[in-house]
Structure 1
């Protein structure tokens, strides 16, 4: 018999130990995929009952009575309800409470706090970094102190087991973070249906509601709100993206085939999309084509800007109306394309705001020919007419005096400076986001906005926020129209209130057709010409 040398044996054992853990994790993953899952909350297996001391009878050695599963579920739900009433939280037996825990207050749709577990595999950029470092740098929702305490308390675990703050993440690690979740409120404005058939649902999305669960939002999302209204088994499939702050036309496939068909049409650019935006100043006459490339300079902050080395982007703009400030409109006898301000209190006092050089506002039609993130917002900023209430791209405290106008090389506002300023803007600091608003600075700073309230949650001790104001719930950008380039179908939403002429003034109340916008670029983009 050949004798194995100790050195060779040590090498072999090291190799086995190195591959054993990843193989075990992969095996657990396959097991979870093959495990049957409940199709609805009522079909879920009841969790093991827990006595008043927090110990299950089975683990304590007690004999568990053989009761029917329906009675087990009923008893468990009663215990959860009692716990919910005492702790002001919902602990769902399957992580999926039904009906959804909504309540309505002060014009907002709110969600009762509940426990939720985030799950993610270790990303490539996390490898070799400590667990605490990753949470502190990658997730801005909480402080370093919170994350350290969560790791020590076992609310943040790796591969199902508690680890220390100095644990170094490796490829294949599964990170779980269980939180007492406080979802931000959204508007309680109803979701109006524009069209519905057997395969498709077309709605007018309210501003401030995300399309699907993401980030701080779970049940306060379009997919979950629609499911709560139409039944647990309704599964709306979003066919395209629409930013949380943006309102307007949104398509949901009622079947996978219908969703895939429309998504493919959009990908092939045979679907025309028109948006409306309310921008600062008097937008130029005629059709304006902006084909500046766009680069994402910070994925974590969601920050984009015009850059020569960015992805190709192309948008056609045309002014629908211009409304000068109230004092200018009065001086002109309220003539011209449109009026100015709605109220005298909103008039600009330039003596206190000498840097304002872009008076009034324009309603602009927008035809994006590509689908880059924040494309319309970035192009309007570059053209010197940012969306008036854009909390990111109309923020002088982030971008400086010129707000990125014609700054294609970043010479006036360095990327590092912009990201640094944006990092420092916490929820306790109200950003002067609406640099071009035709209202006094004092009125703006007195506006209600979401910020730290000074209170903490009794359950998780997290700092609580006040309810969001208008600035957090909407942006003056609206998805107005989607239509097939070949003329097979077309859906149009009503104009939002901010795009209508002010009270007592005249102005357009409809946008008209898209012929002029298409004509301006049909040679370079024949796919949208039909």
Structure 2
């Protein structure tokens, strides 16, 4: 026999259906008890589901035993506004979870066959292709001209094609809600921006992906450096998501955490919704311990002045809050919480010190997952990661950002870093750049002279992908330096609440680029 509260829950549910126009219901009886309950169809052809049949059986049972008076006879039971909102949110959450659980593919896989790979000088490259960027207007973009948003929020190597020549707008490559607009169009809430571009992806290392473990729920891999996890910026096919799908036939995968593009190491990937929900819950509850190993400049200390005394010997904690410094470049720094910084905590411990190179091997444990957290905290302590092109640079001042003291205004730091990260520094000029020579002929001469080692099929495919309206097609770049592809930071260990440990030591030597650190004798 059902309890009285459950019986009244059914009555409330039926009443809600009546309010939606699906039922006609009347409740009557003596002394406020359920005496009769008449149900009739409101829509012809409305089929009874198994749930409705169960309700009929339950109501038939309810009529046999009168219930105590819960509501006055003349009052219809209703939920409060707060209860109704909670029920609606719970129902919406349940529907979203069910859709995710049954999802067999994702939107970012739509472009998986948009182009192909080719390989050159140990790098994985992608043939140029036309791509449609789509994005809904963010709150901070509302009532701003679209050309201003494109310049401020996105990295366009040639913004003049949008602002000066109106080429993208006039050709229809730049649209809002699938309609042509002018560069001065003011964005509104719920607008969808579509931008068609001829895309030249950045190259990544042609490194194999090691599979550490795989079962029906989880996939554990060793991610190579230089490869971003998700499609972003100038990476789509050269992302881990698409490489695993195309080369290793692993799709769809659900990533519950990520590593920076230049960071190598272990990644735990869910293969279904239930596994991703369980793993994401553990990570958000900080029940998963994450350990990294890196090489830093200088003799990393055993203690610092403001380090808590409760820490184990040799462990140094950094708890400086972190926040974005320049969202357009993905640049972050130590930012006070009053200025929008978020709490962050990292523990460090020195393993070895090499006096010949004046570098230390350091183990790091993350307690939060802020962007570039380890790199920024090490910079703040004054021991940045060796050869870190972003956070180990004189652009941050004479002390390279130690103690978040730059010696110059923050805007000047951003300007310096932006200038040094320009793609123009990788330009590879070739002969025959006179205006009388067409862009197609320049590309053909460049392929035949500088890149003659490529197969003829690859060169022909590159010529076929030429777009006369794309400025990138007539600009030829050298391959990026290794220090811009590989960061000496490796995720080597995860441990969950069940004490399940996953470790990867075989790639630590290559990750820190110095086999002397793995010797048996410590030099402290």
Q: TM-score, normalised by structure 1?
A: 0.64
Which among 351, 375, 380 is matched to residue 382 of structure 1? 380
Shift of residue 451 of structure 1? 4.4
Distance 1:104 1:257, change over 3 A: same
Which among 111, 115, 123 is matched to residue 108 of structure 1? 123
2:489 and 2:512 in contact (8 A); partners too: no
Show the counterpart of 1:403: 400
Q: Distance in 1 between matches of 2:105 and 2:336?
A: 50
Structure 2 counterparts to residues 42-441 of structure 1, below 5 A: 96=111, 98=113, 101-147=116-162, 148-231=166-249, 234-285=251-302, 286-309=314-337, 310-325=341-356, 340=357, 360-396=358-394, 398-407=395-404, 410=405, 412-428=407-423, 430=425
1:227 and 1:235 in contact (8 A); partners too: yes
Distance 1:394 1:423, change over 3 A: same
Shift of residue 40 of structure 1? 9.1
Asked if 1:462 corresponds to 2:471, the answer is yes
Distance 1:178 1:510, change over 3 A: farther
Shift of residue 422 of structure 1? 2.4
Shift of residue 467 of structure 1? 2.1
2:361 and 2:517 in contact (8 A); partners too: no
Q: Residue 361 of structure 2 aligns to a residue in which SS?
A: strand
Q: Distance in 1 between matches of 2:192 and 2:117?
A: 31
Shift of residue 245 of structure 1? 0.7
Q: Distance in 1 between matches of 2:392 and 2:269?
A: 31
Distance 1:361 1:97, change over 3 A: closer
Deviations 1:306-345 (A, max 9, x none): 23322211111111111123xxxxxxxxxxxxxx4xxxxx
Asked if 1:494 corresponds to 2:511, the answer is no
Structure 1 residue runs of 5 or longer lacking an equivalent are 1-37, 42-93, 326-339, 341-359, 431-449, 512-530
- Superposition RMSD on alpha carbons, in Å? 2.8
1:501 and 1:507 in contact (8 A); partners too: no
1:95 and 1:116 in contact (8 A); partners too: no
Deviations 1:39-60 (A, max 9, x none): 899xxxxxxxxxxxxxxxxxxx
Q: TM-score, normalised by structure 2?
A: 0.65
Number of residue-to-residue matches in the alignment:
365
Shift of residue 500 of structure 1? 6.2
Show the counterpart of 2:486: 474
Distance 1:510 1:270, change over 3 A: farther
Deviations 1:104-161 (A, max 9, x none): 1211111111111001112222222222222122222232212232122211111112
Q: Distance in 2 between matches of 1:98 and 1:308?
A: 44
Q: Residue 381 of structure 1 aligns to a residue in which SS?
A: helix
Q: Distance in 2 between matches of 1:173 and 1:474?
A: 38
Shift of residue 202 of structure 1? 0.4
Moved more, 451-460 or 133-142: 451-460
Q: Distance in 1 between matches of 2:372 and 2:181?
A: 39
Shift of residue 203 of structure 1? 0.3
